[in-house]
Structure 1
């Protein structure tokens, strides 16, 4: 939808929400290809969850969807309003569409360019090898490949040594740290959660990957809520003095939750949930002293809510990979009041911030579902595993997670739904994994 039509819908949103009868226009928008059955069901379900004013909530969500449905959506919506005799709203939108176009801004005058005198270049002495201070952290440049693209091709790139301008975490211990993987697959029948077929594939991939990156890996399968907390408590009580890092991976269903730091919550197989901010608290500087100043990494493959992202239109140059028969890791939004249970009182002494040296990587944006292929595993884990395999030798973790974001954003479920991973990064330095020497 072009910008002018979006602005009209936004200016007239109050009138649309208060007067529109959305159920009358669904069939017309469906027949014109503006909405799908899944999108209409989504609008109705979300309105029923709020329940107080379902018609207004449906109208509000419908207007939001229309803004993402292409250049034909506005005209088709007007036609549907006329067909269902909602002429007052149609006239309101058409009057906004006929608003005069503002005059273009004047083009600035091209300034006169005066060339500066050319100075003779200074002949700097090229240092000999002995002039360069030794740094065991520097990596010798080698010929490298980035991860394969969607069509399987590999693109070479110039070698890139690690940056000297930003400090990075020491990663020399053997093993470098503990990696705890909690893999919830089979959920209790009295919960509303479906079994997560394909999650074992994710778990096996990440177990192999983190072992290859020199972690001591612990895998727990089908953990109830209290067992998740127990495993995290046990991990926090371990002595990590001989380690340089700690990793927690959680593969489960997820939902929204009240928070003041890290959003989202993950479910045990009993249907009860643990907020992500409580998960991270187990390993913070106060509750796990032996990990103070060391990187603590959390990878969460779970939904952040129950909204489905239908994306927005882009030019034909942006290609996406279409996948069918995907599943989501979500249930309806939680209204639980489960909040932060571990207090962090201020300390008068000079110290590091409590949540520092943490990174939480989410498979999806807060509030949205996360997609999982029942045969290949989740989009997020499949992509993360591949990026780590090809790029851990040269790239820091934050850079690799941007690569993951980019690749996952180009996949779509059933040609319609999208997913956008992201992370909350509170690391103070660059983080490079240990990689096997070749």
Structure 2
């Protein structure tokens, strides 16, 4: 969507959520090709009109350059002329009566995952200004860490896609079962209820995420989603990338995270939602850069290494805004969501067919060695800074030197 169009929708989101009647325009947006049937089903699955309107606006911001003009046309066709004129002028004026906007939550560090540990001192203590803004969910201690003492701590869903269909041009992901076993054992040790699903198709991935969102998480303090699959580029306005079902189509990471946001999963409001994505972000290969002889040389991969990528997705569900380079771990303020990727947007992610992926191996080791003393963001920095498998063996290193 054109940035100017997105700004118009964002300035008028309150008016749209308050006054829009989604049921009248869904068919029009579908017939004009703005929304897919899956998107319409998701909107209609919301219980209240306000939630339907909110989801419609969120989805509309992810569509192409003709989305807003088509939306305006649908509004006029269904007699919602006041909203159409408001958006047409684009000045952000509000329709009476106005509703006060809820304050957003302040970003908070994620505390160590094991509930029995003592709090870790927080190097990012809030200033006197931010201390006056209280989050909606009470925190347990003075350093304002997330409450993490429930037992079990929360649900951990693992989606492990290994065997891909013959018609989707994606190779089977040998070694992924090793990753799945490691993550299952690690998060069980961290007192999570682990649910592992294998070889899910596109619609099944969305079904499992919708089922997870519908569960009551009131007794839990956290929710974790781990996805092991092939991946691809997908345009976005928040979280880049998409992961493939075993039948070929890719689900955008942004859509996956939306299932658990505060609007779609109220019982997880104010609680950390953690996503770990082992999948390629594209087809580019990072050959590294020159370092001193005392440092580890960059790795180009070996005979047992495979990629989890295909070129950029052309699926109609792929988001259609410009790509932006995001950090490997991000914590958006309103929704307590953190996404950790195995690679940067646009680049491949390596997996050893005998030992599993490099990212999961490092993540598992860092959690095992540091979960008792460090917060999650610090540990993810450790994962990013790990030498790339130390080239796995001296023999692999010698191959690299001889080859180059």
TM category, shorter: 0.5 to 0.7
Aligned to 2:30: none
Q: Does 1:362 align with 2:341?
A: yes
- Who is 1:190 aligned against? 167
Q: 1:403 aligns with which of 353, 365, 382?
A: 382
How far, CA to CA, are the matches of 1:191 and 1:177 in structure 2? 35
Deviation, 1:320, is 4.2
2:302 corresponding residue in structure 1 = 324
Contact 1:138-1:162 at 8 Å conserved across structures: no
C-alpha distance in 2, partners of 1:328/1:410? 15
Change (3 A) 1:137 1:212: closer
Task: Kindly report which structure 2 residues correspond to 1:336-355, keeping only aligned pairs within 5 A, or say none.
Answer: 336-339=315-318, 355=334
Q: Go from structure 1 to structure 2 and tell me whether the alpha carbon gap of 1:172 and 1:138 turns closer, same or farther (over 3 Å shift).
A: closer
Equivalences for residues 172-251 of structure 1 within 5 A: 172-251=149-228
Q: Secondary structure at the match of 2:386?
A: helix
Q: How does 1:103-118 map to 2 (within 5 A)?
A: none
Q: Which runs of 4+ in 1 moved over 4 A?
A: 320-323, 408-417
- The secondary structure found in structure 2 opposite 1:299 is strand
Residue of structure 2 aligned with 1:260, choices 234, 237, 241? 237
Instruction: Identify if the C-alpha distance between structure 1 residues 138 and 247 changes in structure 2 by more than 3 Å, giving closer, same or farther.
Output: closer
- Equivalent residue, structure 2, for 1:384: 363
Structure label with greater radius of gyration:
1
TM-score by length of 2: 0.59
Aligned to 2:247: 270
- Do the aligned partners of 1:177 and 1:216 also contact (CA within 8 Å) in 2? yes
CA RMSD of aligned residues (A): 2.6
Q: Which residue is equivalent to 2:122?
A: 163
Q: Is the 8 A contact 1:383 1:408 kept in 2?
A: no
User: Offset of 1:233 from its aligned partner?
Assistant: 0.1
TM superposition shift of 1:336: 3.2
Distance between the aligned counterparts of 1:138 and 1:372, measured in 2? 33
Q: Which runs of 5+ in 1 are unaligned?
A: 1-135, 141-160, 342-352, 418-438
Post-superposition shift, 1:167? 1.7
Change (3 A) 1:169 1:234: same
The answer on whether the counterparts of 2:160 and 2:180 sit within 8 Å (CA) in structure 1 is: yes
